[in-house]
Amino acid sequence: MDLKAKIITRLEEQYDRGYVFIWRMRLSGGNRKEDSMLEIALEQARRFILDVQGLRTDKPCKSTIDVAHRIHNIQIDTISVVTRSHNLITWNRFPNYKEGDVWKAERQGKLFEWWSHAMCLMPMETYPFTAWRKQFYPDALWNSFKKWSIENKETIEQVYRKVKIDGAVNSASLGKRESKSDGWWDWKVEKRALEYLFYTGRLMVPYRKGFQKYYDLTERVLPAGVDSEPLSDDEAAEFVMTTTIGSLGLGSQMDVRTYLGRMPSKVLWNNNASAVVCYLEGFVNTGLLEEVSIIGQKDRYFTLAKNSRTLEKAATEDLEGQPIKFLSPFDNVIRDRHFPQRLWDFEYALECYTPPDKRRFGYFTLPLLDGISLVGRVDAKLHRNDGVLELKSLYLEDGFWKRKSGIERLVTGINDFARFHEADGIELGNVSPKSAKDFLKKEI
């Protein structure tokens, strides 16, 4: 064993994994760049992030798959007050998207679903990272499910053999529900077995019918040419870093620890902020990343060095004329609440799980994006049988409604949103400030 290898071995015995990665790069000859740090205005950061995310861009996504490549993970949502969030996230980046097209892409083997920060659809070619994650999932299961899996090992194997023989199955075709109560603990035993096999990687979901999942053997679902071997820890760490910062355009250590969920950060860096910063600094040293200072922000941000010139030239105009967008609560720039709070000073909470008497804005409020600004929120509900989109409550930020051009963009956005839902009518409820309601009622 040469001296370098001995040093690395010793470091691996003494330091958290996050620091080991950085020392590997330093020992391999990486030197910190002497270039001055790029400094940008907050508005410039917002514009660049929205451009990279495909929400406000001169280069919009051209397909459902393009959206997944651009943002990596599209969160699957069960709530259907309006269209489910996976549809809204995709449509806001690909205007020609039709509701349910994400499932067509899954059936074609171009997207697959599994855990990221939540249950998501992701590009199939990124499966090796998910294979890496699955190695740790049995130990990460909540205790009651872990205990159940041990007690029902034979049932799990029976269900696996059933799928192996019969091909893709849904839970409805296996056994009977044990009770009428809600919650995973009341799933019938076969449903639990299918989910356990799915979580631990032996089964995948090749397609859905409606919203119902069908399960099949992983080796039968993975398309030819897609590697099933897990990444190494080093490769996984770099994947987390490049995917997070590449998808957001700009990212801090907090974003690296949350964009793909907290589990990878826990495994790689013990979820330690300093270790993640140390890791990112190493890629500044090697020239892959560039550190960025956002005026007025205390956090340290990083961008891919190849994007630094685009960032430097990012326009800061308000994008006049573009309709306001209704963002999903699980949109990639909203779902990690620290992100809009830090960069937009926009405090947002999903209140569907909050008791009604304690809600501030409504059951399922959608943030409103006007140009590069978050200007309000709306509690909307689609009455599908009647073809009516109800805007139960609309809250606009101070001063926004006074700008006529802003209201015009809001009206266009409302009409676009209704059209996507194939709603023939629009009903407007409470509006704050009240003085904006009369104008809006005339226009929509």
**pLDDT score recorded for residue 18:** 43
Domains of the chain (ranges, CATH numbers): 3-36+235-305 (1.10.10.10), 136-221 (no CATH), 325-443 (3.40.630)
Tell me which amino acid residue 62 is.
K
pLDDT at 181: 44
Strands 289-294 and 38-40, bridge-based pairing: parallel
- Name which of 284, 283, 257, 279 is nearest 38 in CA terms: 284
**Is-contact 316 41, C-beta < 8 A?**
yes
Please tell me the distance from the alpha carbon of residue 90 to that of residue 105, in angstroms, as a whole number.
12
Handedness of CA 29, 35, 36, 41 (dihedral sign): negative
How many angstroms from the chain centroid is the CA of residue 46? 18
Residue 16 burial class via C-beta count within 10 angstroms: exposed 0-12, middle 13-18, buried 19 and up: middle
* Per-residue confidence in pLDDT tens, the chain, 444 aa: 554 454 344 434 434 444 444 444 444 444 444 456 899 999 999 999 999 999 999 899 999 999 999 999 999 999 999 999 999 999 999 999 999 999 999 999 999 999 999 999 999 999 999 999 999 988 777 788 888 889 999 999 999 999 999 999 999 888 665 554 444 445 689 999 999 999 999 999 999 998 999 999 999 999 999 999 999 999 999 999 999 999 999 999 999 999 999 999 999 999 999 999 999 999 999 999 999 999 999 999 999 999 998 998 877 665 667 999 999 999 999 999 999 999 999 999 999 999 999 999 999 999 999 999 999 999 999 999 999 999 999 999 887 876 778 888 999 999 999 999 999 999 999 999 988 888 888 888
- Whole-number pLDDT of residue 130: 98
Q: What is the CA radius of gyration of the chain?
A: 24
Helix ranges (H only) for 152-302 are 153-166, 189-199, 218-221, 233-248, 253-258, 262-269, 273-286
**Greatest pairwise CA separation for the chain in angstroms:** 79
Q: Can you name the residues that pair with 3 across neighbouring β-strands?
A: none
| Separation of CA 317 from chain center | 26
Q: What is the pLDDT of residue 317?
A: 62
pLDDT at 394: 96
Assign 444 to helix, strand or coil. Answer: coil
What stretch of H or E contains 294? strand 289-294
Half-sphere exposure of 269 (CA within 13 A, CB side): 27
Contact 96, 196 (CB under 8 A): no
In this predicted structure, what is the pLDDT of residue 318?
Answer: 55
**Residue 33: per-residue pLDDT:** 47
- What is the reported pLDDT for 202? 96
Closest CA to 41 of 374, 312, 372: 312
pTM of the model: 0.89
Handedness of CA 178, 181, 186, 187 (dihedral sign): positive
* Rounded-to-integer distance, Cα 184 and Cα 238, Å: 34
